[in-house]
Amino acid sequence: PSFQVLAQDCTNELKFMVLLKKDNIEQNHINVKIADIDIDLYPKNTDVIVKVNGMEIPINNLPYQHPTAKIQIRPKGEGISVFAPSHGLQEVYFEKNSIMVKVVDWMKGKTCGLCGKADG
């Protein structure tokens, strides 16, 4: 299955990209690329697995603060949120059945993807 772009920075800087993939059992798998960092979020049983650059971050180690980039990952409700406002991505929220992508105000109108111009 291929990835679909949910949202990305459409300026030349391409600060971020949020990709959605459905696997063979129709489960959502989110891949967030920010700078040179790759974050994967996907469901496993009732949990959400978090991987940063291929390395799994145990849920009980959250909140996770990336050492160099201004990225924070923390549990929220039933799911996981990724915050990277200085990179243009206010919040990416992922749980088993729902996904929400919010961009910061100064990125509005500069994004594209399935979520459109992100002015909603």
DSSP structure class, residue 29 = E
Question: What's the first-to-final CA gap in the chain, in angstroms?
Answer: 28
**pLDDT tens digits for range 2-46:** 678 999 998 888 899 999 998 777 789 999 999 899 999 999 888
Measured between alpha carbons, how far is 104 from 73 in angstroms, rounded to an integer? 17
**Torsion (CA) 12, 14, 15, 18 in degrees, nearest 10:** 160
Q: Where are the domains of the chain?
A: 4-112
Quick: pLDDT tens for 34-86.
989 999 999 988 889 999 999 999 999 999 999 999 999 999 999 999 999 99
**Parallel, antiparallel, or unpaired for β 72-76 and 98-103?**
unpaired
Query: How crowded is residue 109: how many other Cβ atoms within 10 Å of its Cβ?
Result: 12
